[in-house]
Every structure is written in structure tokens, then in C-alpha cells.
Structure 1
Amino acid sequence: VMEEIVWDFYKGKLDVLICTTIIESGVDIPNANTLIVEDSHRYGLAQLYQLRGRVGRSEKRAFAYFLYPKHVSKKALERLKVIKETVGPGSGFEIAMKDMEMRGIGSILGFEQHGNMNSIGLKLYSEILESSIRKAKGEVKETEKFLIDTEIEGVPGHLVIPESYVENPIERMRLYRRMAMATSVEELEDLLNEVEDRFGNPPEEVLSLFDYFKLRILGWLRGIKKIVFEDGGIVFVLKENLDLHLKGKYIYNKEKRTVVLYTDDDPLTTALAVLKE
């Protein structure tokens, strides 16, 4: 029945089609020139973009109305603002960049965030995925023995390169990629100096982003499998057959192979200091 209704709408027998977001999945009706979305504040940025793309698919001028209540969250308003302001050729790439910056960088192959391929680019995503598959099969190449595989969860703060700091989206993507590909703290320090020379003093979000990638590298060098930030504490999960000797007040659980540290200071800075000891 649904197929018949959509077909009648396509042929012009129906003037209005009331439906769910199912139409975002590749429905192409050139004669449709007006879209009205109810409760648009409930949808993600990529979904709003796909819905908007259902109209304006011919030479006819099109209109898209996104309705939302008076009181909505700040993040919802930000998503709607992006949809309003991002139009024209290349808007898909712009929205992918905005989506990544609004949600944070997430984890590459984990469950913290969907749409990770858009975050780091298809080429890098494919390289990491291929390398991870080979590693799982025990087919690690000599050049991949130094793959940084320390996981970090629950990172506090907002880790992004703001558009107000680096305006060009392609340049921001390049910087994200270079950070992700760095294999030493010194390499990240050199990149940070380069960024400061080119764009001026970096804001707090950028400094935290560099600290995040430094933490991955230091965790890998110290044999840390995973670092978890939760409830004012930092949990270091150790790899097999590894004893981590740290100075200070730490709680070591031999069975779970975890080291727990509670702190009132900035968690990211504290974790870095611990691994530098």
C-alpha cells in the first residue's frame, strides 16, 4: 500500500505526501518542491541534511520548513542553524565537518560515535580498518608493529578545532589527520608549534585535543590498553603481563589489571602527568 501511495505522489495524482523519515533514503521526486518537517529538533544533523535533499531536485524553486517548539536544547538549535546556513555546492562536506565538531572526535572503531568515516576521511579510515583486521588475524606487517592502539573513553571537555580558529574546513581536516597519524609526543609538539605560528594562540579546545593525542601515544608507550575517565577518576587498564609502577596514591586491582586514580584537578592534564612520571 505504501509503495502505491508514493507512486501516486510521484505521478502527480496526490498533492501532499505525509510520511515518516523513511523518505530520506534515496527518494527522488523531482516535482516535490516543498518539505515540512515536524519536531525537527529531534533529528541529527546528517538526517536533517538528507531530509532537506528530498526537495529541490529539479529546476523548480524549493522550500524546506523545519518546525520546532519554542524551548529546545542548545545543541538542537546549533544543528538547525547549520542546516539553515549551509547550502550550495560542497554543503555535504561542510555538514560532515560540522557534525564531527559538534559531536567530538569519538573513537575510530568503537561505539562512542557513529559516522566515524566522515570524521577522519575515507582513506585514513580504510587504512586503520585494514590494519586492524590484519592485526586481529595475526598478520601484522613490520611497519604496523607501532600502531598506537590505546583506547580512551569518556574524555572530558570539547576536543575540536573551532571554525573561529581555523576557518578553512579542508585545513581543519588535514590537521585532524596529522594529529591522528602522529607516532611521538615530539611530533605533536612540532605540529602544535606550527599551528601556533600559522593561526595564533590556540584556544583551550585545541590544546585539549593535542593533549588527547599525546595521551594515546604515552599510554601506548607505557603499555596501557585503555584509559577511562569517569566520575572524577581515571582508570588505566593494563595489557597482559604488564606491571605499571606509578608514584603517588593509586589503587591497583591485580585481578582486573587496572590502576585507579582519583583527582580534583583537570583529568586530562593529570593523566598526562601520571604517564610522564
Structure 2
Amino acid sequence: LRGRVGRSNKKAFCYLIAPPLSTISPEARRRLRALEEFADLGSGFNIAMQDLDIRGAGNLLGAEQSGFIADIGFETYHRILNEAIQELKQEDFKELFKDDDKQAANAFMNIKFVNDCQVDTDLELLFPDDYIPGASERMLLYRELDNVENEEGLKEFEKMLSDRFGNLPGQSKELLEVVRLRWLAIGAGMERIVLKNNKMSCYFVSDQGSPFYQTAVFGKILQYLQNNQKSCRMKEGGNKLALTFEKISTVEQAHKLLLDLTI
């Protein structure tokens, strides 16, 4: 059947008889789940991507069929690779891609100045073992969460967790709040946030010649700084501009602060 199924407008059917789920490997369970989930005409590509994901993308991205990215998934690897390429274009090969910068300047109001924001914290943000017992299941859910792109998707993800595992513990609620924090930070031109020791430091776009520093968003941030000099301060170090806030001890507080900062 290989190479024949999926090349017509007719839907094919087959019966698969599997051993009890408790006796098969986690990878086999994921393959069965993929077949159940992608059952419509034209779903072959999605099944192929799931297979790449399960195998760690095989020889393309790893060693033989084991794969170096089995733990993070194909989509996450692709996003990380794209971020690395953009960073090289903007920093190490800026002259080579200067035409790209001109195009970006022409589309000034529509571009994102950072692709992602790294959040470093000493807070406990996770799915606890006693909430989601299986390590592979937790890893899969972390990857799904990382691929959520909007508020609607995040609410659906939270509802799915509640339906499957019960009410979310505090650490997991804060983990979901970090996703919202990252979205705001990306829109505010922040490449990194450090939330530790009851302080939050926000690091802006590394390229100090970036057009971000002429945007209305950065203007609002400077206005906020001017009006709240007792609770925050701006400093430059290592070619990076950082804005630090005192008395920020939770992700929820950090999220509310960025809302006030940018809206």
C-alpha cells in the first residue's frame, strides 16, 4: 500500500487491531493517536510530520533514526533554527543582508523587532509530577504550550488540561501566565526577562541602531520610566539596554506591569 494511499479523492479505510495500550510503547501510542486525530482527506502530511516528530526527524536532524531533537520536537527545532538564522543575519552578517533591513524599515509598523523572549526566573513554573505523572506526557504538553500563538489557543489548552487532569495547580497557572508575559514582551521589543529575587529586569533589542528605538512603543516605555522613577530604572551594560523594576515577585505582577507599560 505504500505510496498508493492518499493520492485520490476517494477515502480509504482499514481496520487496525492493536494490543492493549498498557503493553505498547509510548511511541506506538502516539502513532495510534496520530492516526485517530488526522483521519480526514488530505491529512497525510500531518501524519508524516507527526512521524518525524516521534522519530526526532531521523537523519535530517539527528543521528540515524534516533534524532537529536526527539525531546523538543520538529516544530520547536524549526523555530529555534529560524531564530538563530535571524540573529546571524542581524548581527554577524548585517552588511550582507542590509537590503533586508531597508525592507524592514519600509514595513516599519508591521514588523516584530524580536522573534522570541527568553524568561529566566527562580519561581517554580511547571506541570508537577503529581499533576501529570508521565514524563513523556509532560514533555509533549510543554511542547504544545510552546506552540500556542494566541489567547484563544491558550484558553483551549488550559481547558484541555482541566478536563484531562483536573484543576491546575498554582505552578501550572503561573506557567501559562508566562506565555502571556512573553507575548507582551515580544511586542515591547524585549529579548529577555529576568524575574528573580523580587525584581524584574527587561532587556531590549541588542542592536542599538534598530528602528525599534524610534517606535511609539518605546516612547511609551520612556514616558512610564519618567513618571515612575522610584520603582524602576534604566541602565546600559554590555551593549544592552535594561529596564529594572523592584518588588515584582510573581508572573501575574510582571504581566500586569507590562500591560501598564505598553497599553
TM-score by length of 1: 0.49
Q: Does 1:127 pair with 2:78? A: yes
The residue number in structure 2 matching 1:198 is: 164
The Cα of 1:119 is off from its aligned counterpart by 4.9
The residue number in structure 2 matching 1:250 is: 231
Listed as ranges, the matches of 1:224-263 within 5 Å are 224-239=190-205, 240=208, 241=213, 242-243=218-219, 244=221, 245-246=223-224, 248=228, 249-253=230-234, 255-256=236-237, 257-263=241-247
Uncovered stretches (5+) of structure 2, i.e. residues with no partner: 1-23, 27-67, 90-96, 105-110
Say which SS state the counterpart of residue 129 (structure 1) adopts. Answer: helix
The answer to whether the Cα contact below 8 Å between 1:160 and 1:206 also exists between their aligned partners in 2 is yes
Mapped partners of 1:174, 1:199: distance in 2: 14
The answer to whether the Cα contact below 8 Å between 2:162 and 2:168 also exists between their aligned partners in 1 is yes
Mapped partners of 2:251, 2:259: distance in 1: 13
The Cα of 1:218 is off from its aligned counterpart by 1.4
Q: Alpha-carbon deviations, 1:150-205, whole Å to 9, x = none? A: 1222x122222123212344432332112111222342233112211222101112
The Cα of 1:118 is off from its aligned counterpart by 6.1
Listed as ranges, the matches of 1:96-107 within 5 Å are none
The answer to whether the Cα contact below 8 Å between 1:185 and 1:217 also exists between their aligned partners in 2 is no
Bigger relative contact order, structure 1 or 2 (CA pairs below 8 A, ≥6 apart) = 2
Mapped partners of 1:129, 1:233: distance in 2: 28
Say which SS state the counterpart of residue 260 (structure 1) adopts. Answer: strand
Sequence identity (%): 20
Instruction: Say how many residue pairs are matched.
Output: 161
Q: 2:119 aligns with which of 147, 152, 165?
A: 152
Say which SS state the counterpart of residue 123 (structure 2) adopts. Answer: coil
Mapped partners of 1:235, 1:204: distance in 2: 23
The answer to whether the Cα contact below 8 Å between 1:250 and 1:259 also exists between their aligned partners in 2 is no
TM-score by length of 2: 0.51
Q: Are residues 185 and 137 of structure 1, via their aligned partners in 2, closer, same or farther at CA, if it must alter by over 3 Å?
A: same
The Cα of 1:272 is off from its aligned counterpart by 0.9
